[in-house]
Structure 1
Amino acid sequence: MALQKHLLNDPDTLVVDSLAGLCAVNNQLSFDPPNKVVYKSKLDRSKVALICGGGSGHEPSHAGFVGEGMLSAAVCGNVFASPNSSQVRRGIDLVENDAGTLILVKNYTGDILNFGLAAEQYAAEHAEKSDKVKFLVVGDDVAVGKTQGGIVGRRGLAGVVLVYKIAGALAAQGGSLDEVYSVAEWVAGRIGTIGVGLEHCHVPGTAPPSSSLSSTEIEIGLGIHNEAGNKRLSPVPPLSELIPLLLDYIASDADAERGFLPFKNDGKDEVVLLVNNLGGMSELEIGGVVRATREELHKRQIGVSRVIAGTFMTSLNMPGFSLSLLLLPRADDSSAPKTDKLLSLLDAPAQTPGWKWNSAAPPVTPTPLAPAASASSTSSRSSGISSPQPEEFLAALKRACVALTKAEPEITRMDTIAGDGDCGLTLKAGAQGVEKAIEAGNITGKDLVADIVAIAKVAETAMGGTSGALYSIFFSALAQNIQSAASGSSTATPELWGKALSAALTKLYTYTRARPPSRTLVDPLAAFVDTFSKGDFAEAVKAAGAAAEHTKDVDAKAGRSAYVDAGVLTREKVPDPGAWGVKTILEAL
């Protein structure tokens, strides 16, 4: 379901409040609140001015791109609604100059009509300057085919930002109105964009959406105004499968319906890649999208001259992204701008909050992911201590791994209430790491110290975080103490285990302040160790389970739960997720 909660004063004043905030961030801007126009305060009236605009809700588009080296003004409507012609006309007047004005709009009927009407009104009232205002409509969407798009053509999506940047840089360098228009028109015709979303967004002040995507669905080809896409996929595919599908929409030369750009796919195509966050994606995920897209383009032998990634044109808080490719001209294309010139304009500085840094150079050739380090970093020298039953030892470990993986959703649910939501996934990652170590022969049951060190290494590398460190310290100490407690014995006895476990817990206490009862994994771990040291494994497991259950009623004294509202923990009655993980492991063993 789309997120329906928002932080604001009033939906009716949100756009004006936001634009006023933008002007506080960028002090080179001025603001006309009644007309929702943001414009450069110190305008060089000897240079071409660029105006853009449209509905709000796409921030940082459009006002976030107003500033030195990019746009001169942006005219903003209400959320997802075009500004009216009077607003646009005010924007034209505010940037009136001697060199001329280029109006850039995305291909939406409301924007075309209102910006176009304002341009015609200006020309009618200033006949002597009628040739000083030019109008360009940009449509870069490739989701809708040529037949279905019919007369209306392609929608304007994030690719228009590349037009803003290149045309704005050329205007800042003193290009004439005809030059700026010509380059902007050429660039606009060479951009293809496709979007994908996990869910639709919610407009502040409106009723909840009537439809949504299921937890296993994504939508391809959706618009930036909550328009439905043209295709749904379930289950959600990995990026390695999704990205090739998206690029087929843009770069395929076999799809007559979407052959909007003249890709030849002969190993000589060169592009600029723009990866755009639609508003609700994490930076972590966007980085993964960039890598996957870069690698897929490399596989297709499509050269990438620039990679630009970030939040450029959103659909409020939509969890999704779009890919845009600007197909650069070939060396023998005499009618096109020179590639070096286009790239230099793209790289030129822009003093605007919305434009992101880019490296001003092609990305390095993608390299394969480095192979994972071995789960075992132990010496090849055998410790000489084995489990009495190596096969049962491995079987028990596998049971624990399966149990943790199965328990992940419930432990994750607990941790979303009592912590930061990652405990289940962390434990699952550790379980999968141990399974891989067993498959690789790094854990055999025949050398107990080496096996436990390998488990400690998995906890360190696969799990990470607080839990990973605690488990790794405990198992590392356990391995040390099994070795020292063996006293020449070649088999691990219950007595040996008891001494080693007690010593490992003591060592763990030197690195954590948690002591039972503390509502942490220490509670069941300590209960298990203390009971087992008296010689009864089954009773020790029961004690650990009871301690884990009891964390429901314990005040948090350590761990993430110590920062959670105690009233929430009391009301929800959830056990500590880390403690539940220990319980799960021991019961499976």
Structure 2
Amino acid sequence: MALQKHLMNDPDTLVVDSLVGLCSVNNQLAFDPSSKVVYKSKLDRSKVALICGGGSGHEPSHAGFVGEGMLSAAVCGSVFASPNSSQVRRGIDLVENDAGTLILVKNYTGDVLNFGLAAEQYAAEHAGKSDKVKFIVVGDDVAVGKIQGGMVGRRGLAGVVLVYKIAGALAAQGASLDEVYSVAQWVAGRIGTIGVGLEHCHVPGTAPPASSLLPTEIEIGLGIHNESGNKRLSPVPPLSELIPLLLDYITSTADAERAFLPFKGDGKDEVVLLVNNLGGMSELEVGGVVRAAREELGKRQIVVSRVLSGTFMTSLNMPGFSLSLVLLPRAEDAAAPKASVLLSLLDAPAQTPGWKWTAAAPPVTPTPLAPASSASAKKAAASGIGAAQPADFLAALQRACAALVAAEPEITRMDTITGDGDCGLTLKAGAQGVEKEIAARNITGTDLVADVVAIAKVAETHMGGTSGALYSIFFSALAQGIQASAAGQSTATPELWGAALAAALTKLYTYTRARAPSRTLVDPLAAFVQAYPQGFAGAVKAAAAAAEHTKDVDAKAGRSAYVDTAVLSREKVADPGAWGVKTILEVL
């Protein structure tokens, strides 16, 4: 289901509250609350003014692009609703100038009618300036075919932001209204956009949506006002499969229904790529989309001259993204603006909070480095100390690894309540790393120091985070303890293990303040090490009891120290890190 909780004072004042907040961020702006118009407070009235707008809920569009080098004003409606013509008329009056005004709107009926009506009213009342207001409708959605779209045409999506940027930069340079209009119109006709979402969004102050996507589904071709798409896929495909499908919508010329852009497929097609976060995706995922899109375009021999990535045109908090391509003109396109000019306008600085940093150059592929060495590529010097039964030693390690992998869902559940939800996956990654080292015969049981060092390196490289560091420190110290306690022995004895374990715990204490009982992995680990001299089985029981006891212990350190104690008391969940130690020891 779409996220239905929102932080606000009142749904009815949310748009105005947000615009007032934007003006606090961007001190170039002035705001007319009654008409919901944000505009440049210091306007150069010798240059063409650009007005855009539409329903709110698409932030940073539209008001986030008002500022030097981009837009002059934005007229904002309620969430997903067009502003009325009176609001738009007020916006035109606020930016009235000697050079003329260009109105840019996305292709939605309400926007076209209300902005168009305001433009016509202005022209009727200012006969001498009727040629000083021009109007462009941008429709870049390629999800809807030509027949289905009919006379309505393509919807406006994130591609309109590129028209804002190019037209705004040209106007800032002092170009005439006709010049700005001509270039903006040409660019608007060369953009294709396709969106994909994991779920629809929820409009603040409205009832929950009647339907939603299944957990295994994604939807392709959805609009930015919660409109349904034209295709659902299940299960969710990897980007390596999804991105080619999305780019087919934009670049295909074989599909007469969607051949909106004149790609030639001869290796000379040149594009600007815009990857737009629809509001609810993590930057981590968006970066992966950028890589996948650029690589797929490379496979198609489409030259990528610029890459833009970020949050430009949202659908509130929709978890999804859109891809936009601007097909740049070729040298032989005599009637078109030059590609170099369009790129320079795209690269020109814009002092607006909505416009993201760009490289102002074609993307480059990072130079690959030499492959990193495996966890145990650099082995410790042979110690000559082996396990009493190397085969049994390896079997015990493999049992422990398998137990951690099997316990991952339960440990993850615990950590979802008491921490950040990653402990189970972290331990699973470490266990699988040790299994690989055993399979590669980098852990053999015949050289315990080298084996334990290898396990420490796995913890460092495969686990990461706090748990990885603690495990790596402990096993590194354990290797040192084995070496120091050997005293000429060639086989590890229980006494040697006991001394090495005690030394390792002492060393670990120099790097963590956690002491039992602290509701951390230290609780069962310390219990095990301290009880070890009385026998292995008894030490395991002591560790298990300490892990169980973490259900009733106030957190003094670790992930749970930041969790409400009332939650911990109510849920009676053991510390996930402690449970991991218990899981390992009980199968050894």
TM-score > 0.5, shorter chain as reference: yes
Corresponding residue for residue 69 of structure 1: 69
8 A Cα contact 1:253 1:265, kept in partner: no
| Aligned: 1:210 with 2:210 | yes
Secondary structure of residue in 1 paired with 2:134: strand
Q: CA offsets per residue over residues 32-78 of structure 1, 9 Å max, x none? A: 10110101111111111111000000000000000110001100000
| Aligned: 1:290 with 2:290 | yes
Secondary structure of residue in 2 paired with 1:256: coil
Distance of 1:316 and 1:370 partners within structure 2: 43
Superposed, which structure 2 residues align to 1:17-96 within 5 Å? Answer: 17-96=17-96
Segment drifting more, 376-385 vs 229-238: 376-385
Gaps of 5+ in 1: none
Q: CA offsets per residue over residues 462-516 of structure 1, 9 Å max, x none? A: 1111111100000101111112222222222322222211211111111111111
Secondary structure of residue in 2 paired with 1:584: helix
Distance of 1:321 and 1:392 partners within structure 2: 52
Distance of 2:447 and 2:576 partners within structure 1: 31
Corresponding residue for residue 341 of structure 2: 341
Corresponding residue for residue 444 of structure 2: 444
Secondary structure of residue in 2 paired with 1:271: strand
8 A Cα contact 1:498 1:535, kept in partner: no
Alpha carbons of structure 1 residues 498 and 255: separation in structure 2 relative to 1, 3 Å = farther
Distance of 1:6 and 1:376 partners within structure 2: 49
Distance of 2:371 and 2:300 partners within structure 1: 24
Superposition deviation, residue 88 in structure 1: 0.7
Superposed, which structure 2 residues align to 1:110-129 within 5 Å? Answer: 110-129=110-129
Alpha carbons of structure 1 residues 314 and 175: separation in structure 2 relative to 1, 3 Å = same
Corresponding residue for residue 388 of structure 1: 388
Corresponding residue for residue 106 of structure 1: 106
Corresponding residue for residue 554 of structure 2: 555
Distance of 1:227 and 1:372 partners within structure 2: 47
Segment drifting more, 189-198 vs 209-218: 209-218
Percent identity among equivalent residues? 86
8 A Cα contact 2:183 2:337, kept in partner: yes
Aligned AA for 1:239? L
Alpha carbons of structure 1 residues 264 and 405: separation in structure 2 relative to 1, 3 Å = farther
Corresponding residue for residue 574 of structure 1: 573
Secondary structure of residue in 2 paired with 1:103: strand
Gaps of 5+ in 2: none
Instruction: Kindly tell me the number of residue pairs found equivalent between the two proteins.
Output: 588
Q: What do you get for the CA RMSD once the two structures are aligned?
A: 1.7
Corresponding residue for residue 540 of structure 1: 539
Secondary structure of residue in 2 paired with 1:324: strand
Superposition deviation, residue 370 in structure 1: 6.3
8 A Cα contact 2:99 2:177, kept in partner: yes
Alpha carbons of structure 1 residues 384 and 299: separation in structure 2 relative to 1, 3 Å = farther
Corresponding residue for residue 171 of structure 2: 171
Distance of 2:367 and 2:254 partners within structure 1: 29
Corresponding residue for residue 586 of structure 2: 587
Distance of 2:128 and 2:299 partners within structure 1: 54
Corresponding residue for residue 331 of structure 2: 331
Superposition deviation, residue 93 in structure 1: 1.0
Superposition deviation, residue 563 in structure 1: 1.8
Secondary structure of residue in 2 paired with 1:257: coil
Distance of 1:401 and 1:220 partners within structure 2: 40
Superposition deviation, residue 369 in structure 1: 8.0
Aligned AA for 2:130? S
Superposed, which structure 2 residues align to 1:419-568 within 5 Å? Answer: 419-536=419-536, 538-568=537-567
Report the TM-score when normalising by structure 2.
0.97
Secondary structure of residue in 2 paired with 1:99: coil
Q: CA offsets per residue over residues 523-559 of structure 1, 9 Å max, x none? A: 11112222223222x3322222221111010011111
Distance of 2:299 and 2:83 partners within structure 1: 43
Q: CA offsets per residue over residues 233-272 of structure 1, 9 Å max, x none? A: 2222222222222222222333332221112222211111
Distance of 2:403 and 2:372 partners within structure 1: 24
Corresponding residue for residue 144 of structure 2: 144
Distance of 1:180 and 1:258 partners within structure 2: 28
Distance of 1:223 and 1:465 partners within structure 2: 39
Superposition deviation, residue 366 in structure 1: 5.0
8 A Cα contact 2:381 2:450, kept in partner: no
8 A Cα contact 1:375 1:442, kept in partner: no
Distance of 2:125 and 2:404 partners within structure 1: 74
Corresponding residue for residue 404 of structure 2: 404
8 A Cα contact 1:220 1:232, kept in partner: yes
Superposition deviation, residue 413 in structure 1: 2.2
Aligned AA for 1:456? A
Superposition deviation, residue 192 in structure 1: 1.1
Distance of 1:242 and 1:391 partners within structure 2: 46
Alpha carbons of structure 1 residues 444 and 190: separation in structure 2 relative to 1, 3 Å = farther
Segment drifting more, 217-226 vs 8-17: 217-226
Q: CA offsets per residue over residues 379-437 of structure 1, 9 Å max, x none? A: 36422222333333333333322322332232222222212222222222222222332
Report the TM-score when normalising by structure 1.
0.96
Alpha carbons of structure 1 residues 159 and 438: separation in structure 2 relative to 1, 3 Å = farther
Secondary structure of residue in 2 paired with 1:491: coil
Distance of 1:81 and 1:186 partners within structure 2: 27
Secondary structure of residue in 2 paired with 1:533: helix
